[in-house]
Amino acid sequence: MKPTRRPTAAPGFSLVELLVTLALMVIMISMFHGFASAKHQRTQKELCHDNLQKIYLALQIYANDFRGALPQNTNAATAEDVLDALVPKYSADTSIFICPGGRDSELPAGGSLRQHKISYAYYMGRRLDNSQSESPPVLLSDRQINTEPKRAGEMVFSANGKSPGNNHHKYGGNFLFTDGSVQSSGAQLTFSLASAPGVVLLNPKP
């Protein structure tokens, strides 16, 4: 009489193996999500780059009419109060004043900027006829965390993706210089944004 064989257990994963597998899947999904988010923000910053250069063209036309001077308003409290001078004569396209990476609402075409909220900060008091200097100053930027002068190494945009200064979440922003060039930056400055006589930084409405 042959001895009876015990049924062998079907091969499978132990609880520890399942937990390890699950943990690895969570890590991989998080890494993919972070990569996709960073790539999306890079694309948004490139679109923002284009916006700033379009605003620069409007400022150039304005400066040609005013012997190199740019919009000023001594009573201005925000960037909208000053850049409103560009619309609609120098730019009827108001979409260029909204950062693609931000959450600001679309603007009516040709409508007054004062009645709405834009995405960009403006250094009032600059001129375009001194843009040939070795280090041209900043003219416009993404919304900054505040309007104080800043040195290299200090924060200029949101470090955690929360307001203020979070047009591009926690991935920094763009600077437009008086020579028309645009430079992308992280949240932390790599150059100085010192104040200059007669120049005032105006953030957009909060």
Helix/strand/coil (H/E/C) assignment for every residue in 111-131: CCHHHCCCCEEEEECCECCCC
pLDDT category, 169, cuts 50, 70, 90?
very high
One-letter amino acid for residue 200 of the chain: V
Q: Which two tokens stand for residue 192?
A: 């100085």
- 14 domain-assigned: no
pLDDT, position 64: 96
The residues facing 201 across adjacent strands are 123
Work out the average pLDDT over 36-63.
83
pLDDT, position 17: 72
pLDDT, position 36: 45
pLDDT, position 34: 44
Range of the domain at 139: 19-202
* Contact of 99 with 142, CB cutoff 8 Å: yes
- 67 domain-assigned: yes
- 7 domain-assigned: no
**Per-residue pLDDT tens over the stretch 85-141:** 999 999 999 999 999 999 899 999 989 999 999 999 999 999 987 555 578 999 999
Tally the domains of the chain: 1
- 85 domain-assigned: yes
Q: Is the pTM for the entire model greater than 0.85?
A: no
